[in-house]
Amino acid sequence: MYDAIIIGRGPAGLSCAIYTTRGNLKTLVIGKADSMLFKADKIENYYGFEHPISGKELFEIGEKQALRLGAEIVEDEVVSIEKTDNFKVICVNGEYEAKTVLLSTGAPVVRAPVKKLDRFEGNGVSYCTTCDGFFYRNKKVGVLGYTDYAVHEAMELMAFTNDITLYTNGMTLNISEKLKDSVSKLKINDTKIKELDGQEKIEWIVFEDGSRDSVQGLFVAYGSASSNSFAMKMGIETEGKSIKVNDKMETNIPGLYAAGDCTGVFKQIAVAVGQGALASRQMIEWVRKKR
């Protein structure tokens, strides 16, 4: 059991971890080393650095600082969060539990590049297996994606139907060793998708080679799970594509906080770091009340 779990290894997450560990909270940071910070070739507007520094260098400094202070860091992908008496964080390679959680997953991921996807949203196209899986009992459904996240969502759907196809949209499957047995239970179609089709609801997936598959539902799990994915499953309030927080970085779910680009703020390192610090203060108080 951890006091605090931080999802995301960018500036907001690592800033929060520095404060929570100094506040004597047993802290775990989960995420892959793929922060948007890595794309910054030269940073020269961040306080305290006389000369420009690369995003990669700044990331490494922040991570070393968090580790030195006592935070634990796990390279893994979070695929789901569940609210229990505490919070259960489910990853590809394991599960963790904490009294409080910070979402610092960065900006929402790019939408799947499939024509007419938006036309059928709410009419057979869903982004939440937890929310909508029940409505597809014994029906023919697809999952759009090619990563661990997509496989996890397909496994969730198996509680409702066995007729599931994983559509990779021409992408090569990129999954961990642990999930390869799970993939063997699925039908896989790796043909490039041209568009979706149907009358009022989705009925067909049309491929670029002219073929088509009939489906009654399509669940989108493209790339990695984003803050919006967690929001839909947990009932977290959003504003557009961003997590809604107050001035204390609190979401509408007690004990769950958000910071950084996923909250829709001005996308600057200094802002993310500041929000991470603000969230940490509330997380420390939350845990101390529960002790």
Q: How confident is the model at residue 144 (pLDDT cuts 50, 70, 90)?
A: very high
Once rounded to an integer, what is the mean pLDDT over residues 173-193?
88
Q: How confident is the model at residue 44 (pLDDT cuts 50, 70, 90)?
A: confident
pLDDT (tens digit, 9 = 90+) per residue, 151-180?
A: 989 999 999 999 999 999 999 988 888 888
- The region that residue 145 occupies, defined by phi over 0 for left and psi between -120 and 50 for alpha, beta otherwise, is left
pLDDT (tens digit, 9 = 90+) per residue, 226-271?
A: 777 788 788 899 888 789 999 999 999 999 999 998 998 888 899 9
Please give the structure tokens belonging to residue 42. Answer: 């030269």
What pLDDT is stored for residue 230 in this prediction? 83
What pLDDT is stored for residue 110 in this prediction? 57
Average pLDDT of the chain?
91
> Which residue type, as a one-letter code, is found at position 261?
D
Equal fold, 2-109+226-290 vs 118-220: yes
Please give the structure tokens belonging to residue 170. Answer: 């021409």
Return the DSSP state at 276.
H
The 10 Å Cβ neighbour count of residue 67 is 15
Helix segments in the chain, DSSP class H? 11-22, 55-69, 129-132, 148-157, 180-183, 227-234, 269-290
pLDDT (tens digit, 9 = 90+) per residue, 104-134?
A: 988 765 578 899 998 998 889 988 787 788 8
Q: Determine contact, residues 11/273, Cβ cutoff 8 Å.
A: yes
Which is nearest to 109 in space by CA: 8, 206, 229, 254? Answer: 229
Q: How confident is the model at residue 146 (pLDDT cuts 50, 70, 90)?
A: very high
Q: Which CATH number fits domain 118-220: 3.40.50.300, 3.30.1330.90, 3.50.50.60, 3.20.20.120?
A: 3.50.50.60
Q: What class has domain 2-109+226-290?
A: alpha beta
Please give the structure tokens belonging to residue 57. Answer: 């260098």
What pLDDT is stored for residue 179 in this prediction? 84
Cβ-Cβ contacts under 8 Å for 61 (sequence gap 6 or more): none
- Residue 29 half-sphere exposure toward CB, CA atoms < 13 A: 31
Burial pattern 15-36, b for ≥16 Cβ within 10 A else e, equals bbbbbbbebebbbbbbbeeebb
Domain edges within the chain: 2-109+226-290, 118-220
Write out 9-29 in H/E/C secondary structure.
Answer: CCHHHHHHHHHHHHCCCCEEE
What would you measure as the largest C-alpha separation in the chain, in angstroms?
62
Strand runs labelled E in the chain? 2-7, 27-30, 72-74, 78-83, 87-91, 94-103, 125-126, 141-144, 164-167, 187-189, 193-197, 204-207, 212-214, 217-220, 238-239, 242-243, 256-258
